[in-house]
Structure 1
Amino acid sequence: MNYISTRGQAPVLSFEDAVLAGLATDGGLYVPETLPQFSREEIASWSGLSYQELAFKVMSPFMAGEVPDDTLRELIDKAYSTFRHDAIAPLIQSGHNEFILELFQGPTLAFKDFALQFLGHLLDYVLKKRNQRVAIMGATSGDTGSAAIEGCRHSDNVDIFILHPYQRVSEVQRRQMTTVLEDNVFNIALKGNFDDCQNMVKASFSDQSFLPEGRQLVAVNSINWARIMAQIVYYFYAGLALGAPHRPVAFSVPTGNFGDIFAGYLASRMGLPIDQLVIGTNANDILHRCISANDHSLHQLVHSLSPSMDIMVSSNFERMLFDLYDRDGAALAALMADFKKTGNLQLSETALASARKLFTSYRLDDESMVAVIHDMWQKNGYLLDPHTAIGVAAARHTRRRLDIPMVCLATAHPAKFPEAVRKAGYQQDPPLPHHMADLFEREERYSVQPNEIASVQQYMAEHIRR
């Protein structure tokens, strides 16, 4: 299978090359030239498969034989062997025809583990085969960094540099990254916000001249196609558990960078009968404003109690726009150039109408989010993290049909966000799982850097292992 850039000017790449490239040379994102299509009968035949078996069925067409089947099965088994629940992604009923999909059963307690545990093993395989060493550079608003570090900490062929906004992630999130002391792991606390981190990563990918000779950058953010691919699986897994393809399903997704919900959109295009995809946002509501009012304009970033969603520029929305504009790379390149220049983007009437057929959206501020956590705990005895609470509220406010199962994606464990949980009336910090019980006693190591790309790139150049 070939991979093409959303902006139409970069070289067409194979699966492995697209994974290593991350951002395309024209500034676009790589997407498959065509999407695999699964018939109703084929999807029905997957009922009862384990998560690992289903992952093989969903992901293998994207590789078109580049990764041998036996190797792919081995990579999948390794990726999910570290999850604490045998179901990998268990479903919990939370209301009438409403379910919570627990995506926090991985080693770093967040949905990012689904993609990054797999990506870490995939990179190991590809780099060893090519006898190649790379530098990973990523930005995190909280969860991507720890999941990426956990997935790559044991790789001899990788040095990993993760930027997080200084003092703008929770303490648990920070310590999950900064207490990993392997020689190939480097944490950078940037004196800026997440968008500053993300912009620095994008700029570094565009000009990699600061790297030692023979090295290249590899992305672990959701600009990397392999991350999106791996996340498609749990939509099929939840849908099958609730009766698909014989009945439709709906999903509500708390999202900042649009990668998680874009995977759901792809699942629907591949044959899963999804009736509705709900976008849940916090005060940083550019995606909600876009879908509800065709207002995709930049506002001041707000620091919230759901920090993983404190994002203003949603990178993966470009992949969606590519489809909404009939995969016209030139048209999209012009649209994105205008957005970069003016800070404003308006969809055409046709594109907006197409998006609204599947997507609805909702915005929740901190006070209302805390009330949702409190209400769910009081009524059900179930503790939500702040991001999941936003997804639950978004589902309940925009749900189209009560007869269709609504699945709310639980993207993180509540122990990662004790401040929000305490504000909701929970009397103590929610306990960390056993494997992380000593997190606050572990040694930390990270470098605080100014919001200057030259300083960060110099730090990276000096610390890449020769």
Structure 2
Amino acid sequence: MRYVSTRATGASQSATFSDILLGGLAPDGGLYLPAEYPRVTGAELDAWRQLSYADLAFEVLKKFATDIPEADLKALAEKTYTAQVYRNARAGESAEEITPLRVLEDEGRRKLVLQALSNGPTLAFKDMAMQLLGNLFEYALAKKDQQLNIFGATSGDTGSAAEYAMRGKKGIRVFMLSPHKKMSAFQTAQMFSLQDPNIFNIAVEGVFDDCQDLVKAVSNDLEFKARYKIGTVNSINWARVVAQVVYYFRGYLAATSSNDQKVSFTVPSGNFGNICAGHIARQMGLPIDKLVVATNENDVLDEFFRTGVYRVRKSAETFHTSSPSMDISKASNFERFIYDLVGGDSERVRALFAKVETDGGFDLSGAPGSDGDEVKRVGEYGFKSGKSTHDDRLATIRDVADNYGITIDTHTADGIKVAREYLEEGVPMIVLETALAAKFNETILEALGTDAERPAGFENIEALPQRFIVLPPDVAKMKAYIAEHTGL
């Protein structure tokens, strides 16, 4: 298995999984994708139906990480996906299943299903990939006797998932950016309360997109990146996306009894990483009908899938909402889908995303003067979209609590609201849960008049001492801080 950049030139023409594991952006500023997606046969799907999550993860991962010995890859999967790590299952759910399904609605032949992805140590779906990434990183660094300085950005959940996965890992430091005072109190405490010496929390005076721009700016400085051994855990990292592909297969296999049945997935989305994994699973041959993108008030992706216009909002135009992990106006993983949409034309991809930097976006609607007409091909990939607002969120949280006895978080509420717009007879709709409700208690309290239940160990997290610094969105100051604290 070889990998190419979406903007393929020179040094980024071809690489192995291990070559790109510890990095993020390709040297040309693009994102890595397989030169060709591996395919899954019906016989393989049949054989995978009875596998544990760890064994299923191994089967999927070995199609992408062909240069890692299979025995090592299997051991890493078995170390990661255990009931002890994913121990925060709700009442009635089995931790052994890792990502249990729960049917919410089954009226006639219309079925709405919730797939729990938030049973890990930080109560968010990011743990599904990040726990594996931590083990992969430690494995690869030990093989090479190297160090890694992870530089990432979070709108809320990626940061804590990365820090909990990397804390105490030999040879790894984490520098995590987050938008100052724009995460929930629980999310903030979960990150900033960590006292591990290899964890550095940096609150940036701005929005998530400012944090993400800083990560890309540092990653594009190849000399600095090499000197200070900079890597990333954001979803621009290919290994993280691959790890997320696994739970699409798990959801499909758990919701169906035969391979001639299709399912659809609805995914709360801001950075396009989670649903990009679903796109990859579909490209591999998983029988997915629709991939529904659910956005909040920051509806850049919904606008594109409805109109073909990708229009990035400026920081001042980005709303601070009650589903803050989706308060993103520049979807960093979107480039991977656009690469497929334009037929793997890397020159075209480079030109389109140059327009994002200069003009704030591009237009594939096919209207006079637009940049192309590829929006007509979006349907070939199964994509649909919708938008949810704060009032929608409150109404959906109340409805699910009243009718199904489940308290869902705000992002999952966005997903369920939009999913209901695309229910279809005979095609189960699986909504990916993104976090446990306790992480967004302010809105749960507003919706239900009562606090969300907290798993053991998280009862008073906001009261713990916090360790972080505040910096402006300044590339030079960020580089100086990293250089001072890497120990290199």
- Is the Cα contact below 8 Å between 1:239 and 1:245 reproduced in 2? no
Post-superposition offset of 1:308 = 0.2
- Is the Cα contact below 8 Å between 2:416 and 2:431 reproduced in 1? yes
Structure 2 residue corresponding to 1:87, chosen from 79, 97, 102: 97
Higher mean alpha-carbon deviation, 76-85 vs 227-236, is at: 76-85
- Is the Cα contact below 8 Å between 2:309 and 2:365 reproduced in 1? no
Secondary structure at the aligned position of 2:96 is classed as coil
User: 2:385 is matched with which residue?
Assistant: 361
User: 2:59 is matched with which residue?
Assistant: 57
Q: Determine whether 1:101 maps to 2:115.
A: yes
User: 2:468 is matched with which residue?
Assistant: 446
Structure 1 residue corresponding to 2:140, chosen from 115, 126, 141: 126
Secondary structure at the aligned position of 1:417 is classed as helix
User: 1:297 is matched with which residue?
Assistant: 311
User: 1:416 is matched with which residue?
Assistant: 439
Secondary structure at the aligned position of 1:62 is classed as coil
Per the normalisation by structure 1, the TM-score is: 0.97
- Is the Cα contact below 8 Å between 1:124 and 1:157 reproduced in 2? yes
- Is the Cα contact below 8 Å between 1:175 and 1:444 reproduced in 2? yes
Secondary structure at the aligned position of 1:434 is classed as coil
In 1: Cα distance, 2:173 partner to 2:208 partner: 21
Counterparts of residues 180-259 of structure 1 (less than 5 Å) = 180-210=194-224, 214-243=227-256, 244-259=258-273
In 1: Cα distance, 2:216 partner to 2:69 partner: 32
- Is the Cα contact below 8 Å between 1:6 and 1:31 reproduced in 2? yes
Structure 2 residue corresponding to 1:137, chosen from 151, 156, 159: 151
In 2: Cα distance, 1:429 partner to 1:5 partner: 46
Q: Which amino acid aligns with 1:4?
A: V
- Is the Cα contact below 8 Å between 1:291 and 1:356 reproduced in 2? no
Q: Determine whether 1:48 maps to 2:50.
A: yes
Structure 2 residue corresponding to 1:164, chosen from 175, 178, 182: 178
- Is the Cα contact below 8 Å between 2:174 and 2:199 reproduced in 1? yes
Secondary structure at the aligned position of 1:408 is classed as strand
Q: Which amino acid aligns with 2:294?
A: G
Post-superposition offset of 1:397 = 1.2
- Is the Cα contact below 8 Å between 1:5 and 1:24 reproduced in 2? yes
User: 2:91 is matched with which residue?
Assistant: none
| Residue-by-residue CA offset, 1:171-195 (whole Å, 9 max, x unaligned) | 1111111111111100000001000
- Is the Cα contact below 8 Å between 1:120 and 1:151 reproduced in 2? yes
- Is the Cα contact below 8 Å between 1:362 and 1:398 reproduced in 2? no
Counterparts of residues 273-292 of structure 1 (less than 5 Å) = 273-292=287-306
In 1: Cα distance, 2:45 partner to 2:453 partner: 39
User: 1:382 is matched with which residue?
Assistant: 406
User: Where does the alignment leave 5 or more consecutive residues of structure 2 unmatched?
Assistant: 88-94, 367-372
Higher mean alpha-carbon deviation, 213-222 vs 247-256, is at: 213-222
- Is the Cα contact below 8 Å between 1:361 and 1:398 reproduced in 2? no
In 2: Cα distance, 1:160 partner to 1:251 partner: 32
Post-superposition offset of 1:208 = 5.0
Q: Which amino acid aligns with 1:246?
A: D
Q: Which amino acid aligns with 1:46?
A: W
Secondary structure at the aligned position of 2:347 is classed as helix
Post-superposition offset of 1:210 = 4.8
| Residue-by-residue CA offset, 1:392-413 (whole Å, 9 max, x unaligned) | 01110133x2211110000100
Give the % identical residues.
40
In 1: Cα distance, 2:23 partner to 2:449 partner: 47
Q: Determine whether 1:337 maps to 2:354.
A: yes
In 2: Cα distance, 1:415 partner to 1:27 partner: 37
Higher mean alpha-carbon deviation, 133-142 vs 176-185, is at: 176-185
In 2: Cα distance, 1:214 partner to 1:44 partner: 48
Indicate the RMSD between aligned Cα atoms, in angstroms: 1.4
In 2: Cα distance, 1:460 partner to 1:323 partner: 35
User: 2:92 is matched with which residue?
Assistant: none
In 1: Cα distance, 2:455 partner to 2:487 partner: 33
User: 2:455 is matched with which residue?
Assistant: 433
User: 2:479 is matched with which residue?
Assistant: 457
In 2: Cα distance, 1:428 partner to 1:392 partner: 21
Post-superposition offset of 1:348 = 5.5
User: Where does the alignment leave 5 or more consecutive residues of structure 1 unmatched?
Assistant: none
In 2: Cα distance, 1:179 partner to 1:11 partner: 42
Q: Which amino acid aligns with 2:4?
A: I
Secondary structure at the aligned position of 2:328 is classed as coil
- Is the Cα contact below 8 Å between 2:153 and 2:176 reproduced in 1? yes
